[in-house]
């Protein structure tokens, strides 16, 4: 199954994609991870991405699409994949359908007040990237990752003002994908509120366990 996870920042796409990846044996592909890996490995695309980000610019569609295309060509993605964070625009979505067409697009619908609660309380491990929440999923020791012992931090874009800016960008750029995929007949929208386990149960009903 080839799946795209849609939803606003804080909808839980990354957490749910990781759960689905583990249960279904499909690679979880995040564009953020692809950017970081390309930069770390100093690939040609990575060098271009690094210079663009260093200047504070957005990575253009052609570079993002090229990174995704390369990742989808690997053997582990032959039977399916879960994309998180891509596509963000209709142009990217059209390119994806030409490269390796999505079969199911899941839109996680979450109210803005819940997004603010989730993101302002989010803490991330600097070393392994595991995500926590101060209220709903705290670490065993405050400020310390349960998995690797690394320090936890608040992402700069998880401030209230940054979140509002990100939500506005999502409404303008990415929300139109809901209608676009809906017209293709491959979109399902599910309630993204509640615990990850509860949301995953709703997802499993439409995608299989």
**Cα–Cα distance for residue pair 209/204, rounded to 1 Å:** 5
pLDDT band at 129 (very low <50, low <70, confident <90, very high): confident
pLDDT of res. 183: 96
For 50-69, what is the mean pLDDT?
86
Residue with tokens 């690939």: 43
Q: Which pairs with CB-CB distance under 8 Å and at least 24 residues apart come from 72-78?
A: 72/29, 72/99, 72/100, 74/27, 76/27, 77/27, 77/29
Task: Give the length of the chain.
Answer: 209
Q: Per the residue annotation, which of 88, 118, 123, 202 is the catalytic one?
A: 88
pLDDT of res. 166: 85
Considering the domain boundaries, does residue 91 fall inside one? yes
Considering the domain boundaries, does residue 119 fall inside one? no
Q: Do β-strands 122-125 and 81-84 pair in parallel, antiparallel, or remain unpaired? A: unpaired
Q: Per the residue annotation, which of 74, 141, 155, 164 is the catalytic one?
A: 155
**Would you call 166 a catalytic residue per the annotation?**
yes
CATH number at residue 197: 3.40.50.300
**Would you call 47 a catalytic residue per the annotation?**
no
Q: Tens of pLDDT along 136-152?
A: 899 999 999 999 999 99
Considering the domain boundaries, does residue 155 fall inside one? no
Count how many domains the chain has: 1
Considering the domain boundaries, does residue 84 fall inside one? yes
Q: Per the residue annotation, which of 13, 24, 48, 202 is the catalytic one?
A: 13
**Would you call 160 a catalytic residue per the annotation?**
no
Considering the domain boundaries, does residue 92 fall inside one? yes
The average confidence (pLDDT) of the chain is 92
pLDDT band at 83 (very low <50, low <70, confident <90, very high): very high
> Domain residues for 82?
2-111+173-207
Structure token pair of residue 208 = 């299989």
Considering the domain boundaries, does residue 90 fall inside one? yes
pLDDT of res. 20: 95
For 53-73, what is the mean pLDDT?
87
**Cα–Cα distance for residue pair 99/145, rounded to 1 Å:** 38
Q: Per the residue annotation, which of 36, 50, 130, 166 is the catalytic one?
A: 166
Considering the domain boundaries, does residue 156 fall inside one? no
pLDDT band at 77 (very low <50, low <70, confident <90, very high): very high
Considering the domain boundaries, does residue 143 fall inside one? no
pLDDT of res. 209: 58
pLDDT of res. 85: 86
Residue 124 near residue 133, CB atoms below 8 Å: no
Q: Tens of pLDDT along 20-59?
A: 999 999 999 998 888 888 888 988 888 988 888 877 777 8
pTM of the model: 0.84
For 186-191, what is the mean pLDDT?
96
pLDDT band at 187 (very low <50, low <70, confident <90, very high): very high
């Amino acid at each position: 199954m080839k799946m795209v996870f849609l939803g606003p920042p804080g909808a839980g796409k990354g957490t749910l994609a990781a759960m689905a990846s583990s249960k279904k044996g499909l690679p979880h592909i995040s564009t953020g991870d692809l950017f970081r890996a390309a930069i770390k490995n100093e690939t040609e695309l990575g060098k271009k991405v690094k210079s663009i980000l260093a200047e504070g610019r957005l990575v253009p569609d052609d570079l993002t699409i090229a990174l995704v295309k390369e990742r989808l060509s690997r053997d582990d993605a032959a039977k399916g994949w879960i994309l998180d964070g891509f596509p963000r625009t209709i142009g990217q979505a059209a390119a994806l359908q030409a490269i390796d067409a999505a079969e199911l697009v899941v839109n996680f619908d979450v109210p803005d007040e819940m997004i603010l609660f989730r993101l302002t309380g989010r803490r991330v491990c600097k070393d392994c990237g595991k995500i926590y929440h101060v209220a709903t999923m705290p670490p065993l020791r405050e400020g310390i990752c349960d998995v690797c012992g690394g320090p936890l931090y608040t992402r700069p874009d998880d401030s209230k003002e940054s979140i509002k800016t990100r939500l506005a960008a999502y409404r303008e750029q990415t929300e139109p994908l809901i209608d676009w995929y809906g017209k293709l007949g491959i979109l399902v929208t599910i309630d993204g509120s509640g615990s990850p386990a509860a949301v995953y149960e709703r997802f499993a009903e439409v995608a299989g366990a």
